[in-house]
Chain A
């Protein structure tokens, strides 16, 4: 389950911390159905109006939950994720940055076996507009997120915020947002996210926000080539020098691998409109929606 809905029960691991509390309150206010939190030291108490459990396992045996979002420090994530996965979480949203990759691969292997969807690590989370969000996207800001027909996915939270602001200021809105994260090993790939948005109700156009490094945009292009819906993309890092990690562990060009040129070429071959700068997204959406309208009128 990649796109969490308002009816899904959500657990917050690390709910009692400063960030956990701040964002839990925002998630609740927006409509996310928070059913509990986890902090082994505060089990049995209440926080943000929901019960605090000693573990995800206890939470599952208590009231139960569908998805979990983790506000957990890097070296604690493996244990917290394993707890949630073994408890039967359908979706684990992993926000934390700088988790050792071997830890990530460890809980990813368990997630695969249990059929759990992992989103992240190193993501700002996901959002279903006017329903709920998990993580720390500014979904409640109506100059950035507004109900509409554009599905958005991104490796970067800050860049997605900018892109979503441009979408709204151009007069459009979103169905859902999926932040997949900036790490090299990710639970949900660009292609997975595009597939999920493609089949999500109300989505008519998809905006892909990628960046240099790895081959996820190239892999996604193979799927995009088979899609009916138009896809608009921006790829960050065209001006980044090779061999330097640009903040995200995944964003690095080594030799010919992961270059801007390779991604742009693959996406354009799949019919994607690749933007020069994020500010061009409004014009690109106008064109995409115009083409849809024409097609629905039967104009070739």
Chain B
């Protein structure tokens, strides 16, 4: 889960990193009022995405009137599909130099990596491609942590205008904040050296590991969850991973890999999946809810049910499916592919209660569902 700047900066501040003062404004007047206490300000769109500056979502304001005008322009603006609903109005900082600092989970070294670059203000992807020699990285043994000696080593030899020690200290605090908050990414870009020699975080990007949410209840409510459709929200409430798509062939399968593959095979046979809906793992007892969800999407013309039981038992999933089917009595055609743990019992249940057999494999089931959807359209 991503945190917008206004919600991410307090995490840095709590770790002792300097951040500029600011207020969150939901309307132009509140942005104007902030100038009275903060002086000249920067009005910054709050959306969970980068490139705000390029989109015109960050503007300087010397006066209250300017702040009002900028806020009025920025509020309601769309930046990378996100409509701006609030702005962060922040005191103006005296920028001498801009650096880059981050800590993230690295699948390659299977450890946290602390990163620093003198090329602040640019996207990390650009730094990594354009000037990789200027991106310094330190993998960390998470059991031992990242201490001041390691931080000094990371910035050793960089000409930082006398701020090496202050930046090393900031990196240590950044790492502590990353650890304390189950971050998968905690990034300061730019990390600013001010004219007076201070080191401050001018922006902050924080992604909380979704698997860490349940033990980060204090901060979790401040995050910005992915924008979900009504059905996706229902899935989340039910503990079923459901993603709504454009097509008309509904997909119900167990396990992420199998569900993705069912979508792939529907596409391979010329169809369009209506959803990703996965009732595997701990959710395998939730087939009844799953069936209802995939059928509730408007415009669904056929359904493919693909069960491949390992941990998830086919018989349990089939019971759930049949319960929903008998209750709803939907008229859309449905095609099955069934294998794995509990398959024979599931196949017998299907025969006894619906009078149908599964198709010989998933290709056949997906193709039949695609053909049925097309037939229904003509």
Q: Which residues of B contact A112 (CB under 8 A)?
A: 110
CB <8 Å contact, B339 and A237: no
User: With A165-B340, A276-B268 known to touch, is A100 a contact of B143 (CB < 8 Å)?
Assistant: no
Q: Which of A108, A138, A239, A278 contacts B110 (CB 8 A)?
A: A108
Q: Which residues of A contact B85 (CB under 8 A)?
A: none
CB <8 Å contact, B214 and A156: no
A279 within 8 A of B: yes
The A-B contact count (CB < 8 A) is 188
B37 within 8 A of A: no
Which of chain A's residues has its CB closest to B361's CB?
A: A279
CB <8 Å contact, B211 and A106: no
A62 to B98, CA, bound (A): 59
Residue of A109, A158, A182, A276 with most partner-chain B CB within 10 A: A158
Residues 21-44 of chain A: 1 if any B CB is under 8 Å from the residue's CB, otherwise 0? 000000000000000000000000
B160 within 8 A of A: no
A110 within 8 A of B: yes
Q: Which of A19, A109, A187 contacts B141 (CB 8 A)?
A: A109
Smallest CB–CB gap between A49 and chain B, Å? 22
A90 to B142, CA, bound (A): 21
Smallest CB–CB gap between A207 and chain B, Å? 14
The 5 closest A-B pairs by CB, nearest first: A156-B257, A158-B255, A247-B256, A159-B257, A158-B258
CB <8 Å contact, B362 and A109: no
Quick one: which of A235-294 are within 8 Å of B by CB? 236-241, 244, 246-251, 255, 276-279
How many residues does chain B have at the interface if contact means C-beta atoms less than 8 Å apart? 55
User: With A143-B339, A165-B339 known to touch, is A102 a contact of B257 (CB < 8 Å)?
Assistant: no
B117 within 8 A of A: no
A58 within 8 A of B: no
Q: Which residues of A contact B142 (CB under 8 A)?
A: 102, 105-106, 109
Quick one: which of B212-254 are within 8 Å of A by CB? 212, 214-215, 241, 243, 245, 253-254
User: With A102-B105, A124-B311 known to touch, is A75 a contact of B255 (CB < 8 Å)?
Assistant: no
Smallest CB–CB gap between B109 and chain A, Å? 9
Q: Which residues of B contact A161 (CB under 8 A)?
A: 258, 308-310, 339-340
